[in-house]
């Protein structure tokens, strides 16, 4: 009886520990803006994602910071008087991007990102992205979100920094 119990216990442990279901992770998509030559004044659509810019005076593709950690090469850029809304075709549990500001000192709460859940679930979270000086006249930050699904983010700059320009690059999400 003891041998049979030991055998069943070992078999049960093998099943629980040794045989894990193989679950494939959703693939991630990265938008670098390197492939973009021109965008509409207020909207740009890529595979799985739409960028809409409201109220601002500038929204285009620019050359990023040479030597930047998170923003380099072609970047999406705008001015601080605008609001950028990013809508995902499918809800995503991962959102990541680099951001730079035309300020060469650290800022802890200048970049504000509101994350909205799918459907009518509303505002999920507000994240303040801190920046640190990167190169002359620029500071950089990096948003990394992993959590409950979101289908829209709203990006804006603290209104006290009305003269500041921003750049976004390397937007990562589940497609």
Question: pLDDT-based confidence at 40, cuts 50/70/90?
Answer: confident
Predicted pLDDT of residue 161: 80
Q: Name which of 163, 159, 138 is nearest 70 in CA terms.
A: 138
Question: pLDDT-based confidence at 127, cuts 50/70/90?
Answer: very high
Instruction: Report whether pLDDT(5) > 80.
Output: no
pLDDT digits (tens, 9 = 90+) for 128-142: 999 999 887 889 999
In contact, 92 and 173? CB cutoff 8 Å: yes
**What mean pLDDT is predicted for residues 37-49?**
81
Per the structure, the complete domain to which residue 32 belongs is given by: 25-174
Q: Name which of 87, 85, 86, 78 is nearest 56 in CA terms.
A: 78
What total number of domains does the chain contain? Answer: 1
Q: Is residue 47 part of a domain?
A: yes
Instruction: Report whether pLDDT(15) > 50.
Output: no
Q: Is residue 117 part of a domain?
A: yes
Q: Is residue 148 part of a domain?
A: yes
Q: Is residue 169 part of a domain?
A: yes
Q: Is residue 96 part of a domain?
A: yes
In contact, 168 and 93? CB cutoff 8 Å: no
Q: Is residue 168 part of a domain?
A: yes
Predicted pLDDT of residue 23: 47
Q: Is residue 10 part of a domain?
A: no
Q: How far is the C-alpha of 168 from the C-alpha of 74, rounded, in Å?
A: 9
Q: Is residue 64 part of a domain?
A: yes
CATH number for the domain harbouring residue 109: 2.60.120
Q: Which two tokens stand for residue 104?
A: 């060469």
Q: How far is the C-alpha of 146 from the C-alpha of 26, rounded, in Å?
A: 13
pLDDT digits (tens, 9 = 90+) for 136-174: 788 999 999 999 999 999 999 888 887 788 899 999 999
Question: pLDDT-based confidence at 9, cuts 50/70/90?
Answer: low
pLDDT digits (tens, 9 = 90+) for 58-110: 678 888 777 788 988 889 888 878 889 999 999 999 999 999 998 888 899 89
């Amino acid at each position: 009886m003891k041998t049979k119990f030991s055998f069943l216990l070992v078999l049960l442990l093998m099943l629980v520990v040794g045989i894990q279901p193989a679950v494939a992770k959703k693939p991630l998509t990265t938008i670098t803006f390197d492939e973009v030559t021109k965008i509409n004044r207020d909207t740009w659509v890529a595979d799985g994602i739409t960028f809409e810019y409201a109220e601002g005076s500038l929204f285009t593709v620019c050359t990023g910071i040479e030597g930047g950690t998170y923003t380099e090469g072609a970047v999406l850029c705008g001015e601080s008087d605008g609001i950028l809304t990013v809508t995902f075709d499918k809800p995503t549990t991962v959102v990541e991007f680099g951001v730079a500001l035309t300020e060469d000192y650290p800022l802890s709460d200048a970049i504000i990102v509101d994350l909205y859940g799918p459907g009518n679930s509303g505002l999920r979270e507000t994240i303040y992205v801190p920046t640190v000086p990167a190169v002359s006249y620029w500071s950089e930050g990096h948003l990394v979100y992993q959590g409950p699904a979101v289908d829209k983010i709203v990006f804006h700059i603290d209104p006290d920094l009305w003269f500041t320009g921003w750049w976004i690059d390397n937007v990562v999400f589940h497609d």
